């Protein structure tokens, strides 16, 4: 009889998936909104493209820096907690055994069995057992700052490249409509793919991302139009 049924789980994807989805979504929404806002102000095509390229570079660097700082803070907290737990295991192993046993009791094990499970797990990997069951730190969910930063920057640039490419290829007459339309379609696809990868509803994910993207573009275009008319 096979030992594993080959079940597919999604939790191991949450770290890079979160960064990639946020980056691509922000890349499409912010760059499309920026390009639409500048275009709505009756700027020249060259000015629209310059603004779009500047937005792509600035946004990618900002996403990478912000994600790195945020996840680095999380990683530092995890390291501090693990170091503290390691000291406690060296100083008072019996107390740590009782603490782990109590955790298993609260999860439904009988006291004797909980003590046996805690003893065996601590004999195998004491720090790993406490990290997982006391602190909630697992290898799949560990903070990875470099990975998150690169994922955010790359996905932002990939998302931003779409409205920028449309702006470069489209004529002045239909440029705004094409940028908005293709950006919204891309957001819907992105939301659906992200939801599917995370095991959630595809329709809900696509609708949520598309709605907020459309709202951001509409507001930015309106502001650009009125500012352009005023100056």
Structure confidence by residue, pLDDT tens digits, 98-146: 888 998 888 888 889 988 888 888 888 888 888 888 777 776 666 678 8
Q: Is the pLDDT of residue 173 over 90?
A: no
For residue 170, the 8-state DSSP code is S
**How many helices (H) does the chain have, and how many strands (E)?**
7, 0
Calpha distance 156→103 (Å, rounded): 41
Tokens found for residue 154: 């790359």
- Cβ contact 95:88 at 8 Å: yes
Calpha distance 115→96 (Å, rounded): 11
Per-residue model confidence (pLDDT) at position 77: 85
Provide the whole-model pTM. 0.68
Structure confidence by residue, pLDDT tens digits, 75-109: 888 888 889 888 988 888 888 898 889 988 888 88
Calpha distance 11→215 (Å, rounded): 31
Question: Minimal CA–CA distance to 35: which of 203, 161, 210, 151?
Answer: 161
| Percent of the chain with pLDDT strictly greater than 90 | 26
């Amino acid at each position: 009889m096979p030992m594993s049924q080959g079940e597919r789980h999604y939790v191991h994807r949450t770290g890079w998936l979160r960064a990639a989805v946020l980056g691509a979504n922000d890349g499409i929404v912010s760059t499309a909104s920026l390009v639409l806002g500048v275009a709505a102000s009756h700027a020249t095509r060259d000015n629209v493209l310059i603004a779009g390229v500047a937005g792509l570079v600035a946004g990618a660097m900002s996403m990478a820096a912000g994600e790195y700082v945020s996840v680095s803070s999380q990683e530092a907290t995890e390291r501090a907690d693990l170091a503290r737990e390691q000291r406690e295991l060296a100083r008072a192993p019996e107390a740590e055994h009782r603490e782990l046993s109590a955790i298993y009791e609260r999860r439904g094990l009988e006291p004797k069995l909980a003590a046996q499970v805690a003893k065996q797990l601590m004999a195998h990997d004491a720090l790993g057992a406490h990290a997982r069951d006391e602190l909630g730190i697992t290898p799949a969910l560990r903070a990875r700052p470099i990975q998150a930063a690169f994922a955010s920057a790359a996905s932002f640039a990939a998302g931003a490249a779409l409205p920028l490419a449309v702006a470069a290829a489209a004529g002045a007459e239909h440029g705004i409509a094409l940028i908005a339309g293709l950006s919204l379609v891309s957001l819907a696809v992105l939301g659906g793919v992200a939801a599917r990868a995370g095991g959630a509803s595809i329709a809900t994910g696509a609708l949520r991302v598309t709605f907020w993207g459309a709202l951001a573009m509409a507001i930015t275009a309106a502001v650009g139009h009125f500012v352009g008319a005023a100056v």
